[in-house]
Amino acid sequence: MRTAHAHLLPLALAASALPLFVPASAHADPWAVDFAAGARLRVDAYSEPLFGLSPAEDFTSTQYRLTFSADLRHRSGVGLFAEIGAFDEEGRSPGPRPVDVNYGDVLQGYLRLEEGGGAWRTELRLGRQLNPQGESRLNASREAPNAARTFDGLSVFAESDRWRVSAFAVKPVELSFDAFDDESDDSEAFWGLYVSRPPQGAPFTADVYYFGRRDENIRWAQASGVEERHSIGVRLYGGVGPYDWNHEAIYQFGSFNQGAIAAWGAAFEASRRFEFGAGVTQVGLRGNAVSGDRDLSDPDLQTFSAIYPRFTYYSPAATLAPANSWDLQAFAAWRPIDAFSASVSAGALWKLQGADAVYAVPYIALPNTAGRAAGPIANLYAAEASWRPSGRWSLSAAVTYLEARAAIEDAGGRSATYAGATLSYRR
């Protein structure tokens, strides 16, 4: 079975020729349809993946991804959207993951109802869809692996000149290697409400949200079991002149097996822009603090969960998950032209509670890291660059060095390095 689609690269490259054969859109009033295709080639190289605390050995992997979508719309506001895709990966240690290998499946497929005749524009989606609420720390895109995070269910958007509201009730899609067999994961449910509004006369936008999630197969350092977690968050972001900021605070409550959940998280980012001719340089400071479990023998749980976080939450290496830790990083970004940008960052990550573990993505307790003293986990150094030579092509690259500190070294771990590059096409 592994060889059925062992080489998607020729197909991925062939996607660049699709504009020669498939029209980008077609119209036959009152209907219209738009077509899109995408391909991605990604190379990841790891030395001491997961700090050498897992069975994985040093490896270099190559990922291939090909997608095709059709968006059918009626003048009345009724529409259908469908996207199919296939992915493959070679070279990963200790072996392939369902998020990287799929021999063809429905990535998205939903009925859409739109209404925009008044002060509000509304949209309802029913079916399989991407992130139903937009980017946030608790529900972000999954771009490091091949497969984007998708959900089955219902979402509703409403937007006016000053408000944006979204609500959803969904289940994540459980991925498998085989063709056209991905299904809803009935062991999980995810629901929420997100409201965004720029206050009158204020130099920032305020977001308030509630997310609920039930997971019947979750695992923490304390134990595995059934969790129902509720998250309430506030985000303030904006800027004045050359200064920008983005701050967020989250409180979580609920139940884990027979215990109660009481966890928290906070994040900040502040930066200043400098303009030199046509280019822009930005320098700043960012950090996160997220709670950890104080006592593994107590059924109550204080470990923070970002629910569905970005794999690259702390660095491009997609190694560490936001739980039981705090970090501080300085960064500088440079954009000499619109098509090119580069950035560097340096900082450190600390373990917050000694009893709890250090967690790797997607929330895997690293062996031998629980029950040891709180303290430094790693120093983080990263550099990234992105170039978009046209509206269809983009190229990006990143390198990361994670210098192991006491929380990793005492568990038998070592420093880790990562380098990667991604070539993407979209039409």
Q: What is the mean pLDDT of residues 334-353?
A: 96
According to DSSP, the β-strands at 364-365 and 375-387 are unpaired
Q: How far apart are CA 59 and CA 253, in angstroms?
A: 39
pLDDT bracket for residue 2 (50, 70, 90): very low
pLDDT digits (tens, 9 = 90+) for 146-191: 888 899 999 999 999 889 999 999 999 998 888 888 899 999 999 9
The answer, yes or no, to whether residue 3 has pLDDT greater than 70, is no
Residue 380 CA to chain centroid, in angstroms? 19
Q: How far apart are CA 164 and CA 235, in angstroms?
A: 14
DSSP, collapsed to helix, strand or coil, labels residue 143 as coil
| CATH code matching the domain that covers 9-426, chosen among 2.60.40.10, 2.40.160.100, 1.10.10.10, 1.20.1300.10 | 2.40.160.100
pLDDT digits (tens, 9 = 90+) for 381-425: 999 999 999 889 999 999 999 999 999 999 999 999 999 999 999
Which position has the token pair 């497969």? 147
The model carries a pTM of 0.91
**Residue 253 CB neighbour total at 10 angstroms:** 14
The answer, yes or no, to whether residue 21 has pLDDT greater than 60, is no
Q: What is the mean pLDDT of residues 100-107?
A: 88
Residue 302 DSSP label: -
With beta carbons less than 8 A apart as the criterion, state whether 319 and 418 touch: yes
